[in-house]
Chain A
Amino acid sequence: MNQSAQNTHAPAGVAPILQARDLVKRYGHVVAIDHAEFELYPGEILAVIGDNGAGKSSLIKALTGALHPDGGEILLEGKPVAFRSPLEARAAGIETVYQNLALSPALSIADNIFLGRERLSQGFLGKYFRKLDRDSMRSDARKHLNALGLLTIQNIDQPVETLSGGQRQGVAIARAVAFGSRVVIMDEPTAALGVKESRKVLDLILDVKRRGLPIVLISHNMPHVFEIADRIHIHRLGRRACVIRPQDYSMSDAVAIMTGAKEAPVH
């Protein structure tokens, strides 16, 4: 079965913003990525689903520079890229919201949003004494949170550990949106949350989409995937089994394709 010949329900006449072609990664005899294809189009939410061990996290790691593929190529806005580290992917405008959020609990919200990308004061103090421009970071952090409707967070100097799970997810997403100029990848953003908080995070993700950023959503939660995804990339045995539209299939069909109980559709 040729993956590139499949109907991926791509929007007509639009070039993918992030693309992988014929990606391969082997660990000894284990093939983690087996000639996988991947396309993300501007402005969409692409869900990536797959059984445990299907290789979806390897695929995502390859896209974010955490893993170096043995073969194939990755294209960002049509240009081939080879990220040596997640930092390089980040510098290219691909932000990842990790499942563990990568927040520092004891530091404030503002500190966390700018963690690793701190801004120095203008002038003498910043240049020679490496003084941070805390006021501008605070006001920008507040701006980023407000832009995503996270108004419930009152105090930008509040340590992250005092926030609820959903609010923390909100801070991590706000950070990704603040710096992700091209793509935001979210790894299981609702896995650790209750029903109410999941709802809020899903709304947040839709909000990010409305701001024009394309999103890759990795999730095990079928109702969430079917609710907000524009297209669903089903990963199986290290490669893309198919791409479906949520309106064309039921959740049980998607699970059946994911587990191999049902043949991937050929259009």
Chain B
Amino acid sequence: MTDAAKAPPNGRAVHEQAVPAATDQSHVSFDVDNKSPLKRMQHFLHANPTAIPFIVLALALVLFSSIVGARFFHPFNLSLILQQVTIIAILGCAQTLIILTAGIDLSVGAMMVLSSVVMGRLAVMSGVPVPIAFILGLMVGVLGGFINGMLVARLKLPPFIVTLGTWSIFGALNLWYSRSETIRQQDVEAVASFLQFTGTAFNFMGARITLGSILMLILAGIIWYVLNRTAFGRHVHATGDDPEAAQLAGINVRGVLIAVYTLAGLICSIAGWALIGRIGAISSISGATGNLDSITAVVIGGTSLFGGRGSIVGTLVGALIVGVFRNGLALAGADALWQEFSIGLLIIVAVALDQWIRKVSG
């Protein structure tokens, strides 16, 4: 502003000087006036990490609608994306909880499939009453998650290693228990149609919405509530942010970790139930991309791999981004390998973006 005052009393010069001054005023909150647009962007994203997934989703929608055309925005296709995203999003909810504590769970996909196989085989092959088979299936996830949590919190092993190990173990148990057999859709339907309940669909303005998608939204809502409106949620954030500080503030950090891994296991089992509804049959090799996709959804969703910051809303949008990429590339006629390629690219860009945003200064 002082520069403007010093400028010659010639209308044009004053005008030229006044323009940057006006922009400065609109950014007083950054307290230093002359930041580059990139720096401003960095600050904006630091303050609003959930903005990233929304921006990426918008860009992805624009990109694929321009490649694929109107077919992409057809309600049926959009609802198909939603169905395809349901499993990733439920696993993503589990993964968000874990990553908020600065951990990672590589076993979510394996826990999901093992749970679905246990539910299915107990109900269909062993003749166990369906409700009991269902609950035992849920217990598989609870137990698996609890084991992960104990190994991480009690033995202080790195979550990556723990869950890499349990991923293999749950995967092997799954192959052993299922004998690599698939239970056919009509067999499940005949004995245990409740297991396919999440596949029930209804029409809504030309879109086909499944109960699995509704279940996913309810689950995400519950976890949002727990993370943002309860003391436990605050403790999850604090544990991931700085475990020592959390401990000194009186938080039972070990207890939080065990609870988070156990809860994540339960959510994986629920994903297993949704998986049966999605594919109808029960297969020991389904949901193979669940692990990577769930981590991708969480990371693209703006949750930091270093813990303490992130959101469930971001994860849902992140899951949608993964779904849009997979669906859009398929509709565009690209080979499935390019789906994997783009998901890999997305995850690297997302983590690089997270690192960059965290380096924000002042």
Contacts and interface: CB of A to CB of B under 8 A. Distances in A.
Contacts of B229: 131-132, 134
B244 A115 contact: no
Main secondary structure of the interface of B (DSSP, over half): helix
Contact of A100 (B231, B245, B251, B308): B245
A106 B245 CA distance: 12
A130 B230 contact: yes
A116 B242 CA distance: 14
A115 B235 CA distance: 8
The size class of the interface chain A forms with chain B is 20 to 34
B223 interface: no
A115 B249 contact: yes
Interface in A72-96: 86-87, 90
A131 B245 CA distance: 23
B246 interface: yes
Main secondary structure of the interface of A (DSSP, over half): loop
A117 interface: yes
B24 interface: no
Given A87-B250, A118-B231, A120-B231, A106 B241 contact: yes
B232 interface: yes
B309 A104 contact: no
A116 B230 CA distance: 12
Given A115-B238, A115-B246, A116-B250, A104 B308 contact: yes
B5 interface: no
Given A98-B248, A115-B238, A106 B230 contact: no
A102 B235 CA distance: 13
A107 B234 contact: yes
A116 B245 contact: no
B237 interface: yes
Nearest to A102: B248
B246 A104 contact: yes
A86 B248 contact: yes
A87 B242 CA distance: 18
Given A118-B231, A118-B234, A132-B229, A102 B241 contact: no
Contacts of A86: 248, 250
Interface residues of B, number: 20
Contacts of A129: 225, 230
A101 interface: yes
Among B229, B248, B251, the most chain A Cβ lie within 10 Å of the Cβ of B248
Contacts of B235: 116
A105 interface: yes
A107 B237 contact: yes
Interface string B214-252: 000000000001000111101101100110111011110
B209 to A, nearest CB: 27
Contacts of A112: 249
Contact of B242 (A90, A105, A111, A134): A105
B227 to A, nearest CB: 11
Nearest 10 Cβ contacts at the A-B interface: A116-B250, A102-B248, A118-B231, A116-B249, A104-B238, A115-B249, A102-B245, A106-B308, A104-B241, A106-B309
Interface of B: 225, 229-232, 234-235, 237-238, 241-242, 244-246, 248-251, 308-309
Given A104-B242, A105-B308, A117-B250, 9 more contacts: A86-B250, A105-B242, A106-B241, A107-B234, A116-B250, A118-B234, A129-B230, A132-B229, A134-B229
22 contacts: A86-B248, A98-B248, A101-B245, A102-B249, A104-B241, A104-B242, A104-B245, A104-B249, A105-B241, A106-B237, A106-B309, A107-B237, A107-B238, A115-B251, A116-B235, A117-B250, A118-B231, A120-B231, A130-B230, A131-B230, A132-B229, A132-B230
